[in-house]
Amino acid sequence: MIAKYTDETILTLDWKEHIRKRPGMYIGKLGDGSSQDDGIYVLIKEVIDNSVDEFMMGFGHAVEIEIIDRTVKVRDYGRGIPLGRLVDVASKMNTGAKYDSKVFKKSVGLNGVGIKAVNALSSYFNIQTVREGEIKTVEFSEGEITDNPEIHKTELPDGVIVTFRPDEKIFGHYHYIPEYVETMLRNYVYLNAGLVLDFNGSKFYSKNGLYDLLTDYMGSPGLYPVIHLKAEDIELAMTHGNQYSEEYYSFVNGQHTSQGGTHLLAFREAIVKTIREFYHKDFDASDIHTSIIAAISIKVEEPVFESQTKTKLGSRDMAPDGISVRNFIIDFVKNALDNFLHKNSETASILMNKIQESEKERKAISNIKKIARERAKKANLHNRKLRDCRIHYNSNEEKRFESTIFITEGDSASGSITKSRDVGSQAVFSLRGKPLNTYGMSKKVVYENEEFNLLQAALNIEDGIENLRYNRVVIATDADVDGMHIRLLLITFFLQFFPDLIRSGHLYILQTPLFRVRNKKRTVYCYSEEERNKAAKSLGPTPEITRFKGLGEISPEEFKHFIGKDIRIEPVIHKREESIALLLEFYMGKNTPERQKFIMENLRVEEDTFT
């Protein structure tokens, strides 16, 4: 039946209704907080962006952020919003001072939307502005004013105080992961030397900008000292490490462009051009890029981002001068990096040796890669290791957030997930037995080992995670010793060869229930002994209790509950201060006595308190 197209079908939504009906247009995907690009973090960022823009204009060097029981409070010490326009700034679309480039030059927020999205998507939103001894407060719920007291005198210092709680009706049962918030705050301070961010009592500060970012995030020294180059409106830092992947951090006007954009493409091109000309050698671009760790930050007037969440730069010109972003970056890199290499011959020698080593390894495994690719194509056609889904990560901007692949072990587990999954958005990859411990091995093993070669092909990550076919890669193994071991081996593989998959927040662990507690009227699935005990007491004297020994024991009908909209997944988080090399050496290397000592000192034996 075709719906009627009449006058009644033409709707006009006010600003808050539109944001609440189409939140993805303003904050990307919603999520429950398990992914670092979930909407609840975008809300925090939108508020902090305004405070950082004040700092960039020379007002207020400190911002305080507090998160208690899912309520967020951000306090800056800038100029404060003009008191008479506070309601408009918080609740009228396309209202703000950032349209006036004389007041806010090269700022992040340019469209007058961000703070309104936070307001509309919060069950509680309170904004206060303090200017010259006076304070104005307005309180909202779901974008509607609930309290609007008069302006009155105060002794508080100037600035803005925003307190909000994201609406559970929009975001569900969400939770904040402190590490994700801390990563966001670190990026702010690296790009704004002198800015102090206080998060729940922990202070974040940087003196040396992107140099600090690289040295902090690497965890261990690069092959040569970090090259740190700066000029007006551009800053970069780079070195090479021992990892196989490329690692970039790119920023525009203080905003972390996690998906890159025109500036990152130009930067990668500029490095290749400069190095080829400096050494007078036509190096392959992949050999120059392999193992690079680099960061670039540029400032652009009126930047054009490809989405409201500002994760990818689309600008081609540096308005208003009309200078090409590409040419601006290439000219700077060619001059500054070439001068640096001429003045630092030891670094130049180390860099050339690294490029030549990458070239040798690439040529050594080129035939193996060709054979492995053919094998992967045939395997995908003729076996059932990969049960694909209808949408893929790179299909389009909205759909890419919805795709998930489960990595399972064993026929029974993969069978249960395959039968209960959403074939539109969830794929399944089946491992055969325990994967290889790849610690200390070269990348040849990725192509020589059939399991890893097929997994790499399924994820489409051979040339980096830019073409990753699934937004969420979920390890789904039994919650026993063997299952934990498989998890560890897979995490080792990704850390060793594809660490960006973890750094970018794509790798997760599936949480499945350990117990089913039920009586004739009700069934409760429990993820811990504590939950089991609580459920048993609530269901009466003699409930039936089942202990799931493996994923294969959970029927497909039951499994639908655990991988549907209420799916429980825990992100695999790599703390920036931890060296990947040292982590792998400790947990997967041959230091058995050290591991034994660690286990003995940290072993906890918990009694089963169920009665």
pLDDT recorded at residue 4: 55
d(CA 406, CA 413): 11
* Residue 137 pLDDT exceeds 60: yes
DSSP 574: -
Chain CA centroid to CA 125, Å:
26
Chain segment 454-486, per-residue pLDDT in tens: 898 889 888 778 778 898 999 998 877 888 889
pLDDT band, very low/low/confident/very high, at 576 (cuts 50, 70, 90):
low
How much is the mean pLDDT over the chain?
Answer: 82
- The 10 Å Cβ neighbour count of residue 454 is 22
Nearest to 151 by CA among 140, 161, 137: 137
pLDDT band, very low/low/confident/very high, at 296 (cuts 50, 70, 90):
very high
pLDDT band, very low/low/confident/very high, at 271 (cuts 50, 70, 90):
very high
SS (H, E, C) 171-213: HCCCCCCHHHHHHHHHHHHHCCCCCEEEECCEEECCCCCHHHH
pLDDT band, very low/low/confident/very high, at 199 (cuts 50, 70, 90):
very high
Report in angstroms the alpha-carbon separations of 347 from 141, 238, 340, 352, 536. Answer: 57, 12, 9, 9, 66
pLDDT band, very low/low/confident/very high, at 139 (cuts 50, 70, 90):
very high
Entry pTM:
0.75
pLDDT recorded at residue 145: 92
Mean pLDDT of 41-50: 91
Q: 153: exposed, middle or buried (C-beta count within 10 Å: 0-12, 13-18, 19+)?
A: exposed
Q: 344: exposed, middle or buried (C-beta count within 10 Å: 0-12, 13-18, 19+)?
A: middle
Q: Which stretch of 109-118, 143-152, 232-241 has the lowest confidence by average pLDDT?
A: 109-118
In 10-78, where does DSSP find H-type helix?
A: 15-21, 24-27, 39-56
Bridge partners of 251, per DSSP, are 256, 297
For the chain, what are the domain ranges?
16-204, 210-361, 366-512+558-602, 515-547
* Residue 577 pLDDT exceeds 80: no
Residue 142 φ/ψ region, left for φ over 0, alpha for ψ in the -120 to 50 degree band, beta for the rest: left
* Residue 396 pLDDT exceeds 60: no
* Residue 205 pLDDT exceeds 80: yes
pLDDT recorded at residue 315: 52
pLDDT recorded at residue 600: 73
Q: Which stretch of 71-85, 354-368, 381-395, 432-446 has the lowest confidence by average pLDDT?
A: 381-395
Chain segment 210-229, per-residue pLDDT in tens: 999 998 888 678 899 999 99
Mean pLDDT of 314-322: 52
Angle of helix 366-382 versus helix 450-459 axis, rounded to 10? 80
Mean pLDDT of 243-264: 80
Bridge partners of 160, per DSSP, are 129
Chain segment 515-565, per-residue pLDDT in tens: 889 988 898 888 888 999 999 999 988 899 988 877 777 788 888 888 887
**Beta-sheet pairing, 247-252 with 292-298:** parallel
CATH architecture of 16-204: 2-Layer Sandwich (3.30)
Chain segment 358-389, per-residue pLDDT in tens: 998 888 887 777 777 777 676 665 556 788 88
pLDDT recorded at residue 94: 53
Q: Are 386 and 456 in contact (CB under 8 A)?
A: no
% residues pLDDT > 90 (the chain): 34
Task: State the Rg of the chain over Cα.
Answer: 26
CATH architecture of 366-512+558-602: 3-Layer(aba) Sandwich (3.40)
Q: Are 249 and 495 in contact (CB under 8 A)?
A: no
Chain segment 173-197, per-residue pLDDT in tens: 899 999 999 989 998 999 888 899 9
Domain 210-361 has CATH 3.90.1150.10: no
Chain CA centroid to CA 156, Å:
36
